[in-house]
């Protein structure tokens, strides 16, 4: 291994690989490597200018056994940036230290390596570059030693019951309800960003950790050291950006259903809310209000005067957001020009089709700046100029008909190399021109995101999840880990998306429990596809805004007087917390803190809090213990040290213990930290 030093960077070369480790913000290092000097110049998620730091770099030698009982001197080097230090041995193996304590080390079991005597014949190296046949990219595998007792969090959103990801195998790919945001927070006092949008996987196994990118030219990861998760997240968002300040007029109730089919339906619902004395901040116009996918315009048959509709809603103080999909039907007026200009995703083989729901479609390529200009020009004319305030960028993974990433290509390269960044590029097609035109914070709703998406006005929701208590439990894990991955604007479909029968009393109980949870989260949003599907379509055509089905009503009063009373009560609670919620959003914009937080985020010194996954903190003040089982009307709650007030009955309790709490259907257990 040959070592050299540049300003703030340690360079090492061996076997055709060039390794570069440099200071990248406070107590942080960026680690990159390529084969044969093929640097890409991509910063991916690391978009922010790092804080200026001065690194100490030392190049020297160390003693190493020769295998015959003698020792010799071999080259080694280290780089130190504040509290984090990385050493590189003669075989290129990197070890990371926080305040002198080992926190992470690359896994190496091969000839000439002495990190694991007796395992050298395995011939396993720390970084494996395997050339993809016929291309310039590699399949890259990077291994690290596993740390006994380590707990791992973050990484975005996966539909599973585990908050602690240790022992999990995670696909690094975007799907409906799965969001890959490859930043992990460790209980050992560090955070690591896999700064690569390639399709792959990570295994946080007990024997080693393994990151894989299926098609890439460059290894790139960033690591930071800190005492606790709050400082780790601050360092991370220093490097990748933070959410802007959330508008105060969107912190209340958002109203949505699948689907309002006409402008009269939208106005009727808005007027009824006004009559009920309930202020809704935003109403959402869902899919198939359009003529064809990719036309990106209202069907005039059912939306004859969108501007008049928007003007009336604005007069009520209600903002309007409209659904935009990235799919373009072959019959759309935009298909031919976009295909001709190369603005759509290419298929490597077979038919030029990427999506087949309700049409023969190809999806847009938002990596192409000309695509982003084209779609904004159309949506500006057909929506924004009417006064539409924001966009629901649905199917933003994108939702492929078949998730065969090998078959798709963007202008930025094969989908295998960059597809995880698709939702972020899609959102930027709207965020950037909206920001330029109005000079205020645009807020758009997306079903997916990637590292750094928090910068682009993204409210991300958890996708089309079923209406079950199991799904509710999984959404809590998803939301907490999304927050630890730097995404504070996160929400769910209250009650889940897919409901067979809105009259089922079990579903109505689920709806109430989900609604109570949503009140104590970043965005309170009514949405869902509510069966039974016995409402006839408006039109006999097989296209346009009238032919597709709609679900049952989904307004607060739609589920009976008793449930309406509970939802109205918790709506009032949400409104009463406006100033507190505003402060939480401000904190997110200042240091990256999520609104819903794991218990250990606020109490990192309490070992029990690192294992809790059925309760959480809403900011630093409220401990929330949602009820996530059918017919459960009491539950245990752990209170950390301190004094706590049960907000439902005013009782003051001393912490440091688990208490049993009553939870009738009209109450969610919440404790205020005194």
Q: Which residue among the candidates 48, 62, 464, 501 is catalytic per the annotation? A: 464
Of the candidates 68, 429, 420, the one whose C-alpha atom is nearest the C-alpha of residue 212 is 420
Q: 466 has which bridge partners?
A: 498
How many angstroms separate the first and last alpha carbons of the chain?
57
E strand or H helix that includes residue 313? helix 306-315
3-state secondary structure of 71: strand
Q: Is 500 one of the catalytic residues?
A: no
Print the SS3 string covering 124-156: ECCEEEEECCCCCCEEEEEEEECCCCCCEEEEE
Q: For the chain, what is the radius of gyration of the CA atoms? A: 26
- Structure token pair of residue 489: 């604007």
Asked if residue 300 lies in contact with residue 307, where contact means CB atoms within 8 angstroms, the answer is no
Q: What is the full DSSP assignment across 183-202?
A: EEEETTTEEEEE---SSEEE
Count of beta carbons in the 10 Å neighbourhood of residue 246: 24
d(CA 112, CA 120): 7
| Spatial contact of 610 and 616, defined as CB atoms under 8 Å apart | no
Residue 476: name the closest of 638, 625, 264, 621 by CA.
625
- Judge whether 385 counts as a catalytic residue: no
Give the neighbor-by-neighbor strand order of the sheet with 616-618: 596-597, 616-618, 622-624, 670-673, 643-646, 652-654
67 Cβ neighbours under 8 A, 6+ residues apart:
none
| Cβ neighbours around 501 below 10 Å, total | 14
Tokens representing 503 are 């009259």
In sequence order, what DSSP letters do the residues of 393-453 get, joined into one string? E-STTT--SS--GGGEEETTEEHHHHGGGHHHHHHHHHHHHHHHHH-S---EEES---TTG
CA atoms of 509 and 462, how far apart (whole Å): 20
Whole-angstrom distance, CA of residue 335 vs CA of residue 190: 47
Q: Is 673 helix (H, G, I), strand (E, B) or coil?
A: strand
Q: Which residues contact 503 (CB under 8 A, 6 or more apart)?
A: none
Residues 6+ apart with CB under 8 A from 66: 72
* Catalytically annotated residue among 220, 363, 397, 529: 397
Beta strand 444-446 with 390-393 is parallel
Q: Judging by DSSP bridges, how do beta strands 169-172 and 200-204 pair with one another?
A: antiparallel
Q: How far is CA 487 from CA 68, 182, 183, 592, 609, in A?
A: 54, 12, 11, 8, 21
User: Are 109 and 122 in contact, with CB atoms under 8 Å apart?
Assistant: yes
Give the integer Cα–Cα distance in Å for 563 and 424: 38
Query: Is 99 a residue of the active site?
Result: no
Phi, psi of 72, deg, nearest 5? -135, 170
Candidates 394, 474, 602, 614; catalytic one = 394
User: What number of H helices and E strands is found in the chain?
Assistant: 12, 41
Rounded to whole angstroms, the Cα distance separating 68 from 539 reads: 85
Q: Which residues, in sequence order, are CB contacts of 520 under 8 Å at separation 6+?
A: 596, 618, 622, 624, 668, 670
Helix (H) or strand (E) holding 19: strand 17-23
CA atoms within 13 A on the CB side of 347: 15
Q: Which residues are designated catalytic?
A: 394, 397, 464
């Amino acid at each position: 291994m040959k070592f050299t030093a540049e300003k703030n960077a340690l360079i090492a070369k061996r076997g055709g690989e060039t390794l570069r480790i440099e200071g990248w913000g406070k107590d942080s290092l960026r680690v990159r490597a390529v084969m044969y000097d093929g640097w890409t110049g991509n910063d991916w998620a690391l978009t922010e200018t790092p804080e200026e730091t001065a690194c100490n770099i030392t190049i020297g030698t160390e003693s190493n056994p020769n295998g015959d009982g003698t020792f010799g001197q071999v080259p080694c080097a280290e780089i130190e940036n504040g509290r984090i230090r990385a050493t590189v041995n003669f075989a290129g193996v990197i070890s990371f230290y926080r305040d002198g304590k080992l926190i992470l080390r690359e896994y190496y079991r091969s000839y000439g390596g002495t990190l694991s005597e007796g395992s050298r014949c395995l011939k396993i190296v720390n970084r494996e570059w395997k050339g993809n046949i016929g291309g310039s990219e590699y399949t890259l595998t990077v291994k690290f030693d596993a740390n006994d007792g380590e707990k791992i969090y973050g990484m975005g959103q996966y539909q599973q019951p585990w908050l602690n990801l240790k022992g999990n195998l995670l696909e690094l790919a975007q799907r409906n309800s799965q969001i890959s945001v490859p930043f992990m927070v460790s209980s050992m006092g560090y955070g690591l960003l896999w700064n690569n949008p390639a399709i792959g996987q990570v295994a946080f196994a007990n024997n080693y950790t393994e990151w894989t990118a299926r098609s890439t030219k460059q290894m790139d990861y960033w690591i930071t050291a800190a005492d606790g998760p709050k400082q780790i997240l601050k360092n991370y968002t220093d490097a990748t950006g933070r959410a802007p300040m959330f508008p105060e007029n969107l912190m209340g109730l958002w109203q949505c259903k699948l689907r309002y089919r006409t402008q009269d339906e939208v106005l009727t619902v808005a007027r009824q809310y006004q009559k009920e004395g309930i202020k809704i901040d935003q109403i959402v116009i869902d899919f198939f209000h359009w003529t064809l996918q990719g036309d990106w315009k209202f069907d005039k048959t059912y939306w004859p005067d969108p501007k008049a509709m928007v003007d009336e809603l604005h007069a009520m103080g209600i903002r309007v957001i409209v659904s935009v999909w990235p799919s373009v039907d072959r019959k759309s007026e935009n298909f031919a020009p976009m295909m001709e200009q190369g603005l759509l995703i290419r298929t490597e083989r077979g038919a030029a089709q990427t999506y087949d729901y309700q049409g023969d479609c190809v999806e847009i390529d938002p990596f192409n700046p000309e695509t982003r200009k084209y779609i904004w020009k159309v949506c500006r004319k057909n929506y924004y100029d009417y006064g539409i305030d924001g966009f629901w960028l649905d199917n933003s993974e994108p939702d492929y008909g078949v998730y065969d990433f090998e078959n798709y290509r963007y202008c930025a390269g094969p989908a295998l190399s960059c597809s995880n960044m698709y939702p972020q590029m899609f959102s930027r097609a709207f965020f950037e021109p909206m920001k330029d035109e109005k000079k205020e914070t645009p807020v758009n709703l997306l079903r997916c995101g990637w590292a750094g998406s928090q910068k682009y006005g993204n409210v991300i929701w958890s996708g089309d999840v079923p209406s079950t208590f199991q799904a509710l439990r999984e959404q809590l894990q998803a939301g907490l880990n999304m927050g630890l991955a730097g995404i504070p604007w996160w929400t769910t479909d209250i009650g889940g998306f897919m409901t067979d029968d809105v009259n089922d009393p079990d579903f109505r109980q689920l709806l109430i429990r989900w609604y109570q949870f949503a009140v104590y989260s970043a965005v309170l949003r009514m949405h869902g596809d509510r069966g039974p599907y016995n409402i006839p379509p408006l039109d006999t055509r097989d296209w346009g805004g009238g032919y597709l089905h709609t679900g049952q009503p989904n307004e607060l009063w739609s589920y009976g007087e008793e449930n309406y009373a509970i939802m109205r009560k918790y709506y009032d609670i949400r409104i009463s917390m406006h100033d507190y919620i505003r402060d939480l959003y401000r904190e997110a914009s200042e240091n990256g803190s999520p609104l819903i937080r794991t218990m250990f985020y606020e109490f990192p010194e309490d070992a029990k809090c690192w294992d809790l996954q059925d309760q959480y903190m809403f900011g630093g003040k409220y401990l929330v213990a949602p009820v996530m089982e059918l017919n459960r009307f009491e539950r245990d709650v752990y209170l950390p040290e301190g004094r706590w007030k049960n907000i439902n009955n005013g009782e003051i309790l001393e912490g440091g213990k688990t208490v049993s709490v009553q939870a009738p259907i009209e109450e969610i257990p919440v404790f205020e930290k005194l």
